[in-house]
Amino acid sequence: MSRKRRSDYIYGYSRYIKLFGLLLDLVLLNVSYICSYVISNERFSELGSQDARTVLVFSNIIWCFLASYFHAYRFLRLEPIERILVRNFRLVFYLMALVFVIIVGLKYNDVSRTRLLAFSSLVFVTTTLGRIGFVTILKNLRRKGYNFRNVVIIGAGKTASDIRETLSGDLSYGYRVLGFFDNDLEGTEVLGKIEEAVPYISTNPVHEIYMAMQNYDSPEVRELTGYCERNFIRIRFVPDFRNFTKSRKVEVSFYGSIPVMSLRKEPLEYPLNRILKYGFDVIFTAILFVTIFWWLFPVLIVLVKLSSPGPVFFKQQRSGKNNRSFWCYKFRTMTVNNLSDEMQATRDDVRITAIGKVLRKTSLDELPQFINVLKGDMSIVGPRPHMLKHTREYSELINNYLVRHFAKAGITGWAQVNGFRGETKNVEEMEKRVEFDIWYIENWSFLLDLKIIWKTLTLVIFKDKNAY
């Protein structure tokens, strides 16, 4: 059998990948259930009890339903394995939650909690390893030319060239780009005009069509689309909005039958997420005031007062959510000067007092911003607020600069724990900071906030080189 026919043969059986994945997971689930008895030091004879059989049967049924709901076996060719593993973690979490509810509902009081913990741990570990192994095997098969898909791209401009490079960039994706069809451009890889695409794909094995054009409203495109729909050839449209955003979280909604695209997905647009974030801010801040700040603030106030003449607190108008200005509070770390609203602090800045250096290196000067959190001007985590002068300047130099103001400003942020804290020496550094801030807005989660808080604490303890 030739290479081409062998590849087509295996492509035809790719529909069974999902079934194989489900069967593999069910085997691992049942093996994990049996092994949980060994870990919890229980007798194998108890496996035959009605309670044990019921829990195992329900576990298998629930897994099948959850796997379908979470698309557990949708292994997209360009999907990072991290996303696959996150889906698996979510599946195992809900499985064990529902199993626990069933045990409580049926009043199976004799079911060992130790065994349940061992069962959930084993299921997570074995299915995770199974996912990694399964995806690795698929990738290796594709590198060898199996399970590949032949692709034709409609259009031959920059967007078409970029999608070709992406699909062909890694053999493990399993794509083979046969060429382009375009009415205006010519080249060695241009197979012909768009009207010639239908005769071509009718005589050549083509599995997917990528539309990378400016104008989709033409008789040739409609004819091509109709032919593909009738002949089980999948069509992908590649809109190019990179001139407007670098986001990978573009969201498409439907208003009736009209598709409406948003440049980014913002988790904090959902009321429940905002309530969760604000609730954590208030509770966490209240705990700090009750346990630490009530004695630490008086000590720091005395030290600042002794360091140099002037007020204890430094307040400055900064840009907040929706670019509304607010008074941001800090412990004063400099001698009183006329440049505080114009010039950033620099390394070995002569304006910084001896006590101020300690406060800045330990980030203790930022503690009064928890007052801003209670007032609702700031959050514990978010894009750092900049002075108004910088907002005016950089919003003119960086197109998407003001996007960072879609969220509340934060005491710490994703940019800061990734090395972009303190002085910004040039536009390129500010662009990187903005990229991190926008990434945070697009990818917010409660766990991400906890991660940033933890990384901030480690930087404070082990001294951040950018703290000065």
Question: Per the confidence metrics, is the pTM higher than 0.85?
Answer: no
pLDDT for the residue 213:
86
State pLDDT tens for residues 149-184.
899 999 888 889 899 998 888 777 888 899 999 988
Query: In the chain, what are the domain boundaries?
Result: 3-143, 149-240, 271-461
Q: Is the pLDDT of residue 47 over 70?
A: no
Kindly indicate whether the domain formed by 149-240 is annotated with CATH number 3.40.50.720: yes
Instruction: Return mean pLDDT, the chain.
Output: 86
Q: What is the mean pLDDT of residues 19-27?
A: 90
Q: What is the mean pLDDT of residues 444-462?
A: 92
pLDDT for the residue 43:
67
State pLDDT tens for residues 275-313.
999 999 999 999 999 999 999 999 999 999 999 899 999
Compare 100 and 347 and report the one with higher pLDDT.
100
The percentage of the chain sitting over the pLDDT mark of 90, rounded to a whole number, equals 47
Q: Is the pLDDT of residue 233 over 70?
A: yes
Alpha-carbon distance values, 60 to 31, 96, 355 (Å):
12, 11, 63
Q: What is the mean pLDDT of residues 369-385?
A: 96
pLDDT for the residue 4:
41
pLDDT for the residue 210:
94
pLDDT for the residue 409:
96
State pLDDT tens for residues 405-439.
999 999 999 999 998 887 777 899 999 999 999 99
Q: Is the pLDDT of residue 345 over 80?
A: no
